[in-house]
Amino acid sequence: MPGEIERLREALKEMRSVSKKRNFNQSVELIINLTDIDMRRPESRIQETIELPHPVDKTVGVFATGDLALRARRSGVDLVLEREEIESLLNNKKRQRQIAKEIDFFIAEAPLMPLVGRVFGSILGPRGKMPRPIPPTADIEREVERSRKMVFVRTRGQPVIHCKIGTEDMSDEQIAENALAVLRRIESRLKRGAKNIKSVYLKTTMGKAVKVKM
């Protein structure tokens, strides 16, 4: 592992050197190209939610009522929708799509899951964004913090995985540890492990992709 972390750090250093400074905090993206994978076979398709060691500037939305909704707002989440608001969006597909685009991860008070599924299921399901259910008494601050560490990765018909693992203002150590967490999980899902990984790249939002010498 120390050797892999060091190679990731070297690639991050090069990535920063070839990335022009922008007037916004760019994302750092991990690209994994797979090999010897038959994407026509269901078992070859990857769809994983991975909890990273370090938070990655993710937006979080909460479906909740009463006290849980109040505590969610106090925790600083990006969006809170209560029962009446969810019901009002039943036939508003445009707003549903907008919410799905703006929010990375959702949490839902468990009793609201049937309603959320009925209203948002067709929008959030295909995007891999169905909410994680929690009990009304849950520690919402801890759940939100955990959600900000989550990344959803999947293959979309091609043997390629592309996900956000950090931002420019994070340290190379933090980004490298996040990248390694994703790589480890993907390797565990592949029949031949690391041998099914053809190449790995790191890039900023608008920067050039840099190959990791794995």
CATH architecture of the domain covering 2-55+149-211: 2-Layer Sandwich (3.30)
Q: In this model, does residue 1 exceed pLDDT 60?
A: no
Mean pLDDT (the chain, rounded): 93
- Alpha helices, H only, 75-158: 83-88, 93-102, 113-124, 140-147
Distance in angstroms (rounded) separating the CA atoms of residues 152 and 145: 16
pLDDT of amino acid 41 = 85
| Spatial distance between the Cα atoms of 190 and 38, rounded to a whole number of angstroms | 11
Judge whether 86 and 108 are in contact, CB under 8 Å: no
Domain ranges of the chain: 2-55+149-211, 60-147
Q: pTM (2 decimals)?
A: 0.82
What is the distance between the alpha carbons of residues 200 and 7, in angstroms, rounded to a whole number? 11
Least confident of 95-99, 120-124, 189-193: 189-193
| Gap between the Cα atoms of 157 and 145, Å rounded | 31
> What local confidence, expressed as pLDDT, does residue 128 receive?
86
Question: What CA–CA distance (Å, rounded) separates 101 from 93?
Answer: 12
Tens of pLDDT along 57-108? 889 999 999 999 999 999 999 999 999 999 999 999 999 999 999 999 999 9
Question: Which residues does residue 62 pair with via DSSP β-bridges, in sequence order?
Answer: 80, 107
Angle (deg, nearest 10), helices 93-102 and 113-124: 80
More confident residue, 128 or 110: 110
Q: Residues near 41 by Cβ (< 8 Å), separated by ≥ 6?
A: none
Please state the rounded mean pLDDT for residues 118-132.
Answer: 94
Instruction: Judge whether 76 and 147 are in contact, CB under 8 Å.
Output: no
* Alpha helices, DSSP H, located in 43-139: 66-74, 83-88, 93-102, 113-124
Q: CB within 8 A of 10, min separation 6: which ones?
A: 213
Question: Which pLDDT tens digit goes with each residue over 2-35?
Answer: 688 999 999 999 999 999 889 898 999 999 999 9
Average pLDDT over every residue of 171-179: 97
At 42 the pLDDT is 83
Q: Residue 20 has what pLDDT?
A: 87
Would you say 10 and 213 are in contact if contact means Cβ atoms under 8 Å apart?
Answer: yes
d(CA 126, CA 158): 17
2-55+149-211 and 60-147 agree in CATH topology: no
Are 202 and 30 within 8 A, CB to CB?
A: yes
DSSP-assigned letter for residue 209: -
Two structure tokens written together for 133 = 């259910």
Q: Domain 60-147, CATH 3.40.50.790 — does that match? A: yes
pLDDT at 21: 86
What are 179's two structure tokens? 């990248």
